[in-house]
Amino acid sequence: MIYIDLFAGSGGLSLGLHNAGLQGLFAVERNKDAFETLKYNLINKCSHFKWPTWLEIKNWDINELLAEHKNELAQLKGKVDLVAGGPPCQGFSMAGKREKNDNRNQLMHSYIEIVKLVDPQILFFENVQGFTVDFQENGKKKNYSAILVKDLKKLGYHINFQIVTMSKFGVPQNRKRFILFASKDRKVSQLFFEKLYGNINSFLDNKKLKPRVTVAEAIGDLMKSKGYVESPDTKRFNNGLYGNVESTYQRFMRKDISSDKLPDSHRFANHRTPTIKLFRDLMRVSDTAIRITPSMNVVEGLKKRGVTPLKEDSVCNTITSIPDDYIHYAEPRIMTVREHARIQSFPDDYEFKGPYTTGGERRKIDVPRYTQVANAIPPLFAEQVGEVLLSF
């Protein structure tokens, strides 16, 4: 089964489809750092993509691709089984500002243009839950999910979509996402979610994984108390060491890693003393993982609009691109990129490239490591999607 990955990010979807046995043709990702991560792991290390000779292996903006290679894309008609991926979600996210004029919202139309040219048999589309929520525009409601469904039906596709919770698929995160599957075959489109949910138990049993994975079960072997050394990629920072494996999930994430290897992107933040004190105070507020805001007046010095101290027996809420949205469940610090990646179900041998963080207005442009992880489709879920697609 041959597919194209649009808005591919750092490669979470492609990694899952690769593990399921699909063959990538090429991936489209605008950001240089995110594409560098995808390229390192899925092109340099395992040659997952059969990259066409007419397309330069680099980070491509989807509209530049359409402008420069429209004829070549049209010639792929009948040669590509699947177009996968979804446009950037920040403009639709309920956690963000949801600005109706966000240019990223318009990339859905570029997605439809590629589908029109390539004309695959099936489509897999993912976005945030807010993709289904109306925008108010000039006194009228505008719903991007309804527009997408309408446009795809015009192209001859039968549509099936749901809001899916990732924790049901063995991912240690209560991440809700809009998932759309489309097929030229009506019966196939109707079967997708039935097969996806019906496959969970056998898939997880085969990998010796549990359907519910807590934060401690996901990242307990990565605590700072397990030891650390100087960071190999950033001066004046420390990188954590591996502790003993404490769960089947940790064993699965580390299955291709030798015990003496340094965990990739496991760099600890250098918190100031007042920040550590604030984090300790926040960690004492509740026995459950709740979001704490300044208006609650439960701690002094909290200026950020909301922070969630995690609890070891909880399933993590949706990982975001803002590192200090969460506090580690046992140590007064933010989580590392590697810990975020674990919660997103990236295996430990998947290495991230580029800077760790960015700030201010650059957040709309840059895609550092934390953002690369947060924006990704969890590979463990994507692999289950891939198995269902292959069954068709």
- Residues recognised as catalytic: 89
Kindly calculate the radius of gyration of the chain based on its CA atoms and give it in whole angstroms: 21
Rounded distance between C-alpha atoms, residue 55 and residue 135, angstroms: 36
**8 Å CB contact between 114 and 66:** yes
Among candidates 375, 266, 248, which has minimal Cα distance to 318? 375
**8 Å CB contact between 167 and 200:** no
Structure tokens at 98: 């949801």
Contacts 24+ apart (CB under 8 A), 147-154: 147/108, 148/108, 148/112, 148/180, 149/180, 151/112, 152/112, 152/115, 152/123, 152/182
In this structure, which amino acid lies at residue 250?
A: Q
Structure tokens at 119: 């004309």
Residue whose token pair is 């007046």: 297
Give the sign of the dihedral formed by CA 114, CA 197, CA 12, CA 371: positive
| Residue ranges with strand state E in the chain | 2-6, 23-28, 82-84, 122-128, 135-137, 140-142, 158-165, 176-183, 228-230, 238-240, 267-268, 308-309, 326-327
Pairing of strands 122-128, 23-28: unpaired
Rounded distance between C-alpha atoms, residue 219 and residue 223, angstroms: 7
Among candidates 329, 332, 282, which has minimal Cα distance to 307? 282
**8 Å CB contact between 14 and 5:** yes
Q: How many residues make up the chain in this entry?
A: 392
**8 Å CB contact between 169 and 200:** yes
